[in-house]
Amino acid sequence: MRLWIACLLLWCAVAEANTTAASQRSVMLTMGKPSGFMLREVEADGAIKVHYEFNDRGRGPALDARYRLDDAGLPLEITISGNDYLKSKVDEQFRLTEQDASWRNAAEQETRAGARGFYLSLDGTPEESAMLVRAALAAGGRIDLLPAGQATVRVVADETITAKGKRTKIQLYAIEGLDMTPGLIWLDQDQQFFASWSPWFSLIREGFEFSQEVLGSRQRKEEQRLATQRARALTEWLRKPLLIENARVYDPHTKAVLDGQSVFIDRGRIVAVGPSIEVRADTDRLDAEGRFLMAGMWDMHVHIGAGVDGLLHLMSGVTTVRDMANDEAALDRLEAAIDDGKDLGPRILRAGFVDGRGPYAGPTKVFADTVEEGLAAVDAYADSGYRQIKVYSSLKPELVAPMAARAKERGLRFSGHVPQGMNAEAFIAAGADEVQHTNFLFLNFLAGPTVDTRTPQRFTTVADGAKDVPLSGSPMRRLIALMKERGTVVDPTLMTFEGMFLDRPGRMGPTFASTVNRLPLAWQRGVRAATGGLPTTPANDLNYRLSYQRMIDLVGVLHREGVQIVAGTDATPVWALVRELELYVAAGISPVDALRIATLDAARVMGLDQEYGSVEAGKVADLILVDGDPSLSIGDLRRVQRVIRGDRMHDAAALRREVGIAHE
């Protein structure tokens, strides 16, 4: 969550900033709909004043900032106040002098003698990215950063936008050094901000909102060019049969690990598995040297994007994902590119996203406020080849039963957030096959009439009260019995809540504790700063920690009671699924059971276990080769060496190097 918010603030909403214009307003668009704005003004002394805010289902920052720059465009003074995405207080200051640089924010307080560079605010406004572009251009295209790192800026495309008879020339700039892939922003001929575009969130100069499609089309071309370069360099096509020898193979049916096994692959499928396999002379051979071989894992809750999301999934051993809400056209393009070898990524199963209209509606283009609209949405997704329907918090409760029934008629699963006005028991009784997110199970007991689960109260109510919900009490037993009776699946996404409940400013939670030193410098700072959690006070700090432990404990209880768990993350895919499985082990689930949840069980839930989920003859060759033994230590899944996705193979170490992740 914290890394995603940092990405959103830095790249998805870059604002115009240049002292040649006294005032400039840009509009934030979420899935094409206005959701906020940035107003930038120049004061009489040349200082730049910025107000920035947007609303994302009750979340979102509201920031006021003031910047004073030197002649080279470097910040000399920065002051920022307000609240961040999850409403924690922001109070950040920076000062650069000839003698030193000093900064203070919620997580850091440092003075560095002789330091000079462009300071990246921890909780800054998107205006700073535009400042960074101009400062880097003035310095010849490369600039040192504070606290650490270096950024490079280059032009990658040109366009012309016409509005009211006036032609505006714009250029697309790539900024490297802040993320795992270049950030892309549009500036006009005066090097002033014009737009920052993405399929989900965009910030565009007011009056030019109509240009979204033109900008998106051109930007996608550049993103695809970069993706194709990566895919060609990092993919080994299995054009001949392949024999993997001397492997230890995990069998999810028996949960045994078989030594000395060979696996023969031809044309993307497993032909034979056994201790000795005769193959023809033209077969390539791969000596596993006793490493652990298993089916590729499934992340059952993602929102996959372009860029390096697909690479990060593969790097983490994930060969199939279930996308739980996305733009249909964007997914069409991404899947086609992956299938054609022009991008890297896992197989994608789609869930169609439906919500009701209102101030807290989710980021979707498909809304339903009547039964007719709801049934039409289900039919449209079914006709488009989707496998599941996911509903959201603003859907009217009375629409759940008819939509669930129609989904079953069309062969689709039905799941989602529990809509406002329902509890989990009612949602399941109305036909839901699955519940997303553990917090909704606790809200079954905690969400009284004053709690609006469309808002961040669905997090804070659980953070405050989950610790007091008995897992062995009759209310919880009744809910578990209902789930067992109906065959309800639970998608806990424990990792989603870990940073939210446990991160404290300047005190990193456990999510990246074992990997933070391997991440790129900019990511390390964001992770260590840990400012993305819910606001806490001395009075509720312990409650939040105890409540998160209760969420973990519930997942263990559900598993032992026979409720099917699927492993999803809803998080940035940097070993996210591995962390999710570690949390299951912390809940008392054995490592071999956790491996089964992430492979064969996931395939069975989606009705695809005859093709995927285990190392068996006749199945698709989605496999991962791992150093270590995750059947004993689940964290060894971070040591994936090779990833095979059907007819192609990837060196996981090369994937990591591509995005700046160091070897362990």
Residue 163: predicted pLDDT: 80
pLDDT at 46 over 50: yes
What's the DSSP call for residue 637? Answer: G
d(CA 404, CA 513): 41
Amino acid at 278: E
Q: How confident is the model at residue 129 (pLDDT cuts 50, 70, 90)?
A: confident
Q: Inter-axis angle of helices 474-486 and 541-560, to 10 degrees?
A: 40
For residue 653, pLDDT over 50 is answered with yes
| Strand partners for 490 | 435, 565
Decide if pLDDT at 273 tops 90.
Answer: yes
Return the beta strands (E) in 434-528 as ranges: 434-436, 489-491
Chain centroid, CA 163 distance in Å: 35
CA distance 631 to 257: 8
So what's the pLDDT on residue 402?
98
Residue 423 confidence (pLDDT): 97
Q: Mutual orientation of helices 439-446 and 457-465 as an angle, nearest 10°?
A: 80
Residue 18 clears pLDDT 60, i.e. is over it: no
Question: Of 84, 61, 73, 63, which Cα lies nearest the Cα of 17?
Answer: 73
Output the pLDDT for position 11: 38
Closest CA to 461 of 389, 540, 351: 540
Quote the pLDDT of residue 7: 42
Residue 423 amino acid letter = N
Average pLDDT of every residue of the chain: 93
Lowest mean pLDDT among 34-38, 139-143, 157-161, 520-524: 520-524
pLDDT confidence of residue 15: 33
Q: What average pLDDT score do residues 609-628 get?
A: 98
Domain ranges of the chain: 2-233
Q: What pLDDT sits at residue 190?
A: 84
Helix (H) or strand (E) holding 300: strand 297-302
**pLDDT class for 5, splitting at 50, 70, 90?**
very low
Per-residue pLDDT at 21: 56
Amino acid, res. 514: S
Q: Which pLDDT does position 53 carry in this prediction?
A: 94
pLDDT tops 70 at residue 135: yes
